[in-house]
Amino acid sequence: MTVLSTLQIAAFCNFVAAIAFTPGPNNAIASMTGLNYGWRAALPQAFGVALGCAALFCVTAAGVGALVTALPGSSWVLTLGGAAYLAWLGIGFLRAHSTAMAVNVARPPRLHEAALFQAMNPKAWIASLGGSSAWLASSQMPLKVTALLAALYALICFPSVLTWAVAGAVFRGRLGGSGLRWFNFGAGLLLLATAGWMVIENLDAT
């Protein structure tokens, strides 16, 4: 088989959508951004996630991803980097005692920050490694197929982030000052817990 069939492409889209739209670090941050600043503030993150995931897919398709993950200590570097970023965001939300302070302390991720974070995002690695190994193995035109799948990956990731941002924005007008403070406090704890979970999972795998 030289190219992917329509059924294979549809299966890939379903695979990526199942990962992209379900809860995870990207979507958690997007929902918090939507709640604190409105969904438009999450546009840079959405673009960054889409570009970062597409780039990571291309890297794994080229075999570099498998090489990186096979290097001694590489999983720890990726895990600690991702956990540190989530912990930094979590501390920012914990310190956000008011909406005004949240703007200064827990600002929305910039495009390049969201893109770079995908290199340390476990869900992004799962999707990229699983997708490239499952859907590129049957293709004799890897460059063309990789470009197609990477583009589809980006097109799916972009609306997934915005969907969670819009969901957060829906509650923006329903939470008063105290409600927003408690939400930011809970969101900060959730991000810190996620960072801790990433480290513990890596400990169990070693």
Tell me if 166 is assigned to some domain.
yes
Distance of CA 178 to the CA centre of its chain: 29
Tell me which residue has tokens 């546009």. Answer: 43
More confident residue, 153 or 124: 153
Give a yes or no: residue 15 inside a domain: yes
Question: In this model, does residue 68 exceed pLDDT 50?
Answer: yes
pLDDT at 191: 74
8 or 133: which carries more pLDDT confidence? 8
In a domain, 1, yes or no: no
Report yes or no on 205 lying in a domain. no
Check residue 102 and give its pLDDT. 44
pLDDT digits (tens, 9 = 90+) for 71-110: 666 666 767 776 777 787 778 777 765 444 444 446 788 9
Question: Could you report the per-residue pLDDT of 38-65, keeping only the tens digit for each?
Answer: 899 999 999 999 999 999 999 888 876 5
Pick from 81, 83, 105: which is nearest to 92 by CA? 105
Of 3-12, 109-118, 132-141, 152-161, minimum mean pLDDT range: 132-141
139: containing domain: 6-200
Whether 25 is covered by a domain: the verdict is: yes
Q: In the chain, how many domains are there?
A: 1
Tell me whether residue 206 is in a domain: no
Which residues have C-beta within 8 Å of that of residue 152, sequence separation ≥ 6? 9, 12, 13, 16
pLDDT at 5 over 50: yes
Contact (Cβ atoms closer than 8 angstroms) between residue 126 and residue 60:
no
Using CB atoms within 10 Å of the CB of residue 30, give its burial: 0 to 12 exposed, 13 to 18 middle, 19+ buried: buried
pLDDT for the residue 122:
78
The verdict on residue 182 lying in a domain is yes
Q: Which has more confidence, 202 or 12? A: 12
Greater pLDDT, 140 or 53: 53
Spatial separation of the C-alpha atoms in residues 121 and 127, rounded to whole Å = 10
Work out whether the CA dihedral 117, 120, 126, 132 comes out positive or negative: positive
pLDDT over threshold 80, residue 186: no
Is 155 a domain residue? yes
State which amino acid sits at residue 38. Answer: G
**What pLDDT score was predicted for residue 103?**
44
| Token pair in block for residue 197 | 């979970």
Given a cut of 70, is residue 67 above it in pLDDT? no
Specify the pLDDT at position 30.
Answer: 92
Cα distance between residue 153 and residue 146, in whole Å: 10
> Angle between the 177-205 and 25-37 helix axes, to the nearest 10 degrees?
170
